[in-house]
Structure 1
Amino acid sequence: MNRPLRITLLTVLAVALLAAGALGGYLARGEDPAAPKKPSEVFKASGEPTCWTSGSVLDRVVPAARYADRWKRSTRGKLSHNFQCGVTVDDKQVLRVSVVQRDSVHKPDRVGTGPGHGKTRSVPGYEQSWSSQDAVSLTVPCTKAKGDDGATNLYVKAQAWRENYGGLREDMVRIAKQALKAHHTTTCKVAPGVEDLD
């Protein structure tokens, strides 16, 4: 066998052995590239909390999946703010959190209660609140009435979609409280709703 051919074959063999070794090491660690991952692992690269919650809470509420995505949006209008965040897993929405500033005459949204959602309870420390197995709603005063303008409230809602809700209630309450904490001061005191942005 001539020398150039021998060098080429040895190079190909060395590359194949390196690739096999890397694959073997990867598989030995038990990691499958197509295996479902925890949402905290999927979203950790951004370095910011998803839907205003910690990675450990997110991992309990959002199921592991091969593909997960999150979205955020914010709108501002006359005497109102609307912040929303959500997580989809394998193209199905599994978590949505909203913080909405609205006129205080509005009533909280009751979606996430009733048959199949478990017994509804109030959230301690919040006069206008409820929680079910998969959703929670908190209503807190935001701005006081000024002249003809009405007072506003912050309406915070967190809802999860799962086949089995198990013990999600406490985590959903944590998520709602964190969302409220993240927005109450900035929305109600620093940048309250304005008369008109047009």
Structure 2
Amino acid sequence: MNRPLRITLLSVLAAALVAAGALGGALFQREDPDDAKKFSDISGDTTCWAAGSVVDRVVPASHYADRWKRLTREELGYNAQCGVTVDGKQVLRVSVEQHNSVHKPDRVGTGPGHGSTESVPGFERSWSSRDAAAVVVPCTKNTGDDDATNLYVKAQAWRKDYGTLRQDVVRIVEQAVKAHRTTACHSAPAADDRD
């Protein structure tokens, strides 16, 4: 194929791709916001170890939702993660991690604009802000080698309107503690186990 013909064909292909992208963008823009559905209607169930009504308040109504979970267990190590993405943006992330008890909890979501922090009732080491909450739960006792472990449970949501978000992320953290404490702190470790 000669060079001028190849350049012409590539130009036509590029123009067709640009036009297809513009058409797709226009169709996406035309989606009716009234057609947006709550998370449980899209997913068919709830996720992140929380009650459906709580997740539906935290996750904004949308057209497309995706959720993911990950779990790994090792000796004196437990890591469970869960997240929700709607319309291409992450809106919720929950983590349950077992670490040595000297580990400091993450303070993500407590900077300027996130409001003042408050403690979470029932937890000695805890905090919550307008869009995030974290608690530290004692897990295993120190046997003399400074090997005590804690569970570090955290939930963070991304919303423009905070509303009752603080109370909801606190509920999610409390429910994640109930869902994982026994397995992480008292069950025998297992090999990597992902879903």
In the other structure, the counterpart of 1:39 is 39
The alignment covers a number of residue pairs equal to: 160
Taking only the aligned residue pairs, the percentage that are identical comes to 68
**Residue identity in the other structure for 1:94:** V
CA contact (8 A) 1:129 1:137 kept: yes
Alignment partner of 1:99 out of 91, 96, 100: 96
Does residue 76 in structure 1 map to residue 73 in structure 2?
yes
For 1:98 and 1:151, how far apart are their aligned partners in 2?
20
Any stretches of 5+ residues in structure 1 without a counterpart? 1-31
CA contact (8 A) 1:143 1:192 kept: no
For 2:87 and 2:37, how far apart are their aligned partners in 1?
11
Does residue 85 in structure 1 map to residue 82 in structure 2?
yes
TM-score for the superposition, normalised by structure 1: 0.76
- CA drift of 1:149 comes to 5.4
Q: How does 1:124-143 map to 2 (within 5 A)?
A: 124-143=121-140
TM-score for the superposition, normalised by structure 2: 0.77
- CA drift of 1:79 comes to 1.7
Larger Rg: 1
Shift of the 193–104 alpha-carbon distance from structure 1 to 2, 3 Å rule, reads: farther
In the other structure, the counterpart of 1:160 is 157
- After superposition, the CA RMSD in angstroms is 2.0
Any stretches of 5+ residues in structure 2 without a counterpart? 1-31
3-state secondary structure, aligned to 1:157: strand
CA contact (8 A) 1:80 1:193 kept: no
1:159-192, Cα deviation, whole Å (9 max, x unpaired): 0001121220111110000000000011101235
For 1:112 and 1:150, how far apart are their aligned partners in 2?
29
- CA drift of 1:99 comes to 0.4
In the other structure, the counterpart of 1:172 is 169
Shift of the 111–193 alpha-carbon distance from structure 1 to 2, 3 Å rule, reads: farther
**Residue identity in the other structure for 2:95:** S
